[in-house]
A and B are shown apart, each in its own frame.
Chain A
Amino acid sequence: MVIGLPSDHLRKGRTMDTKAHVLEQIASNLYKGEDDVVATLVHQALDQGMAPAKILNGGLIAGMDEVGKDFKAGDLFVPEVLIAARAMHAGMDILRPLLAEGEVPSAGKYLIGTVQGDLHDIGKNLVKMMLEGAGFETIDLGTDVKPDAFVAAVREHQPQLIGMSALLTTTMTGMKATIEGLEEAGLRDTVKIMVGGAPLTAAFAEQIGADAYAPDAATAVDVARNLMGV
């Protein structure tokens, strides 16, 4: 799917008629991963006097939302999403210093890691990248994360969500141990817990007392949003 106007339209140097228009242009160029064009357009919007927060929400995030939707529907390839995310960063780099404290919107704070004994991280990293694209602030604990380390990180960072990844039947049990650790520390109710990985099932997630399971990265974003009540 294509939204807005094609980017070569912009390269030809046509000026924007309305403010709404420039936001659409940002979104559509972000969708196509045109990072330089997105940066130029963000400057243009600022020059027009548009508020940074408005550019962020109406342009960058709106564009990334479309990307997320189409990835979920199977219309986009992973690199297309990552190229779009690169364009998002190009815009964010300009806006971030201009945004007031508290104006940087976050869909939620998400702590993620691969459980103890497990070194698989390709899937975990992809989930993280997709969450970031959807506006979550992520904290990545890496691989081989012991239950204690999860608990300590929850205490330190106070995330709303935790994601645990396990690709091995031998390490899946680490998820339950982590949940128990959080219970003991009195932190279980402060977070929603998501789990994923090849040997997992929704039934397993329920059985160990997790809040949700997601079979892939695109679903993970939706599930995370649901858990945040968005």
Chain B
Amino acid sequence: MTEQIPIETLHPTIRMLSDEQIEAIHHASLDILSGTGIVMKNEVGRELLVDAGAWESEGRIKIPPHLVMDAIASASPRIPMFNRLGELTMPLEAGKVFFGPGSDCPFTIDVETGQRRKATAEDVRRIAHLCDSLAQIDFVMSMGSPSDVPPLDHYLHSFISMIRGSVKPNVYTANNREDMEDIYRIACAVAGGEDELREKPFMLHYAEPISPLLYNDESVDKLLFCAEKGIPVTYPPSPNTGGGGPITLAGALALGNAESLVGLALTQLVRPGTPFLYGMNTAALDMKSAIVSYGSPEWPLGMAACADLARYYDLPVWGTAGAADSKVVDAQAGIEAAISMMSAFLTRCNLVHDVGYIEYGTTSSMEMLVVADEIIREVRYIMGGVEISERTLAREAIHRAKPGGGFLADDHTLDNWKWAQWRPELIDRMRYDRWVEKGRKDMATRANERARQILAEHQVPPLPEAAEEVIAEVLKEREDSAKRTT
């Protein structure tokens, strides 16, 4: 018999915007840029835009559509990201979804004591260490601002702690160009040189403009640094509905899109082809508590719309999921994380950050990361769709089965059970008595135990010696210059 072509499995996706809606947002964004204009506080950024055809009027820089369209055309549709061992583990490209934590929380929940306390450099390393072991976590971010180092060295120490704690690619933040330079030096030492780093980038920088339409000096300077060096970069604005953005999501998307495209244009003007990750953060400013809500449905809704826009531009896209407004790892946190991560997967957002945030991004939680790892596994299973094939249709097993008798002991079950069903690791399905016997542990307790076990057992390859030497050098220089200024 001729071997038949298998039936393709549909992997579910969602689209949030129709072609017509995408075009309408695109046009509104172009109108914002050419009609309203931006405020650019960085001199080099201003010159780049004006030289490329933007003009100044009424204290704003107005940007014509062709400048934006040229940038979209010269940007790369994919960003291959490597781990620090030089392996391609995170190709940010159409159809792929990667998850990881967020940056810079002032507080953390101590995994030993359960107390909310200020984060330290060691916390950053330990969280990276945990993420290194979690199979569904693809990259690391700092998750904390180390309170035990001088404030202006926060980002430098975070970077060092991340690369010590994990081999996975990282997304890093920085204060200013000085940080960028020091981090770059260390990164080159890790990769083995500037060319090696450019060929196999293991780090992506995250800076942001200020919605609405303000491009502050430092953030643009950091963006331009990335373009100069070829470091992959994301520059997502935060048009939070009712805060940095209009209360309506459409307006927030039009604004955020305009703002993100300016970031793209700046990088492409410095160096066409600079790896740029498009995106925006569209959380809601909660009108009772006045927090920027990380668990709000507006965020996944906006992320899905943003992913549609990215596809229209053929750009890789940044997103947010797995974060919570809840102060503890409870049912609320689970709902917030599950809904956003499911949305992220369905919309095929390429790089999804903030996994493991609680308290609207103020506090990090290792338990939350472990729970999220389980949610991602489960969501991924659903994304697998339903395979329709001879082996899954189980014709013979159905034919064989004794009416009313079931399939438990059938060969088809015994041969296929391992892959045909999803199995939980952290989610509990024990029968009641056994659950009592095992100590009546809820999900957060089990996640805590798992996190501590990983920290005790998981091994991470150390940094190359050359890198540790450069780190020591950089830290020494910082110390010396601090002494000079005091």
Q: Which A residues lie at the B interface, using CB under 8 A?
A: 74, 77-79, 119, 122-123, 126, 168-173, 198-199, 216-217
Docked-complex contact A170 and B145, CB < 8 angstroms: yes
User: Taking CB as reference atom, which chain A residue is nearest B289?
Assistant: A216
Given A74-B288, A77-B287, A119-B210: 10 more A-B contacts, CB < 8 Å: A77-B288, A78-B288, A168-B145, A169-B151, A169-B154, A170-B145, A170-B152, A172-B151, A199-B362, A216-B290
Give the most central of A123, A168, A169, A198: most B CB within 10 Å: A169
What are 28 A-B contacts defined by CB distance under 8 Å? A77-B287, A77-B288, A78-B287, A78-B288, A78-B290, A119-B210, A122-B285, A122-B292, A123-B290, A126-B290, A168-B145, A169-B104, A169-B147, A169-B151, A169-B154, A170-B145, A170-B152, A170-B175, A171-B151, A172-B151, A198-B106, A199-B106, A199-B107, A199-B145, A199-B362, A216-B289, A216-B290, A217-B290
Q: B243 touching A122 by the CB < 8 A rule?
A: yes
Would you give the shortest CB distance from A173 to chain B, in whole angstroms? 5
In whole angstroms, what is the CA distance A183 to B124 when docked? 37
Interface residue? B244 (CB, 8 A) = yes
Contact of B154 among A119, A122, A123, A170 (CB under 8 A): A170
> 10 nearest interchain CB pairs?
A199-B106, A77-B287, A169-B145, A170-B151, A78-B287, A122-B243, A169-B106, A77-B288, A173-B151, A198-B362
Given contacts A169-B151, A170-B151, A170-B152, contact A119 B288 (CB under 8 A): no
Tell me the count of chain B residues lying within 8 A, CB to CB, of chain A: 20
- Majority SS at the chain B contact face: loop
Residue B392 at the chain A interface, CB threshold 8 Å: no
Q: Does B216 contact A (CB under 8 A)?
A: yes
Interchain Cβ contacts within 8 Å, total number = 39
CB of A223, distance to nearest CB on chain B (Å): 16
Q: How far is the CB of A54 from chain B (nearest CB, A)?
A: 34
Among candidates B152, B210, B287, residue contacting A79 with C-beta atoms closer than 8 Å: B287
In Å, the complex CA distance between A171 and B151 comes to 8
Which residues of chain B have C-beta atoms less than 8 A from A79's C-beta?
287
A119 surroundings in chain B (CB, below 8 A):
210, 216
A219 to B106, CA, bound (A): 22
Contact residues of A: prevailing secondary structure: loop
In the complex, what residues of A have CB within 8 A of residue B243's CB?
122
Residue ID in chain B nearest A199 by CB atoms: B106
Q: For A168, what are the chain B residues with a Cβ–Cβ distance below 8 Å?
A: 145
Are A122 and B147 closer than 8 Å at their CB atoms? no
Q: Which residue of A lies closest to B146 (CB)?
A: A169
Chain B residue nearest to A79 (CB atoms) is: B287
A186 to B4, CA, bound (A): 89
Question: In the complex, what's the smallest C-beta–C-beta distance from B359 to chain A, in angstroms?
Answer: 9
Q: How far is the CA of A150 from the CA of B287 in the complex (A)?
A: 30
The 0/1 profile, CB within 8 Å of A marked 1, for residues 206-245 of chain B is 0000100000100000000000000000000000000110
By a CB distance below 8 angstroms, the chain B residues around A173 are 151
B482 to chain A, nearest CB (A): 13
Residues in B whose Cβ lies below 8 Å from that of A172: 151
CA separation between A217 and B289, bound complex, in Å?
9
A199 to B145, CA, bound (A): 10
A74 to B287, CA, bound (A): 10
Query: Nearest CB to that of A174 among chain B residues?
Result: B151
A74, A170, A171 — which one has the most chain B CB atoms within 10 A of its CB? A170
Set of chain A residues within 8 Å of B288, measured between Cβ atoms: 74, 77-78
CA distance A132 to B106 in the complex (A): 30
Which listed residue, A74, A78, A122, touches B244 by the CB 8 Å rule? Answer: A122
Q: Which residues of A contact B292 (CB under 8 A)?
A: 122
Q: Given the complex of chains A and B, what is the CA–CA distance between A74 and B96 in angstroms?
A: 43
Contacts of B362 in A (CB 8 A): 198-199
Q: How far is the CA of A46 from the CA of B277 in the complex (A)?
A: 61
Of all chain B residues, the one with the shortest Cβ separation from A197 is: B106
> Distance (Å) between the CB of B289 and the closest chain A CB?
7
Interface string of B8-47 (1 = CB under 8 A from A): 0000000000000000000000000000000000000000
Rounded to whole Å, the gap between the CB of B147 and the closest CB of chain A is: 6
Complex CA–CA separation, A133 to B92 (angstroms): 49
With A and B bound together, what is the CA distance between A126 and B183 in angstroms? Answer: 36
Expressed in whole angstroms, the Cα–Cα distance for A199 and B106 within the complex equals 6
A173 to B151, CA, bound (A): 8
Residues of chain A contacted by B287 (CB below 8 angstroms):
77-79
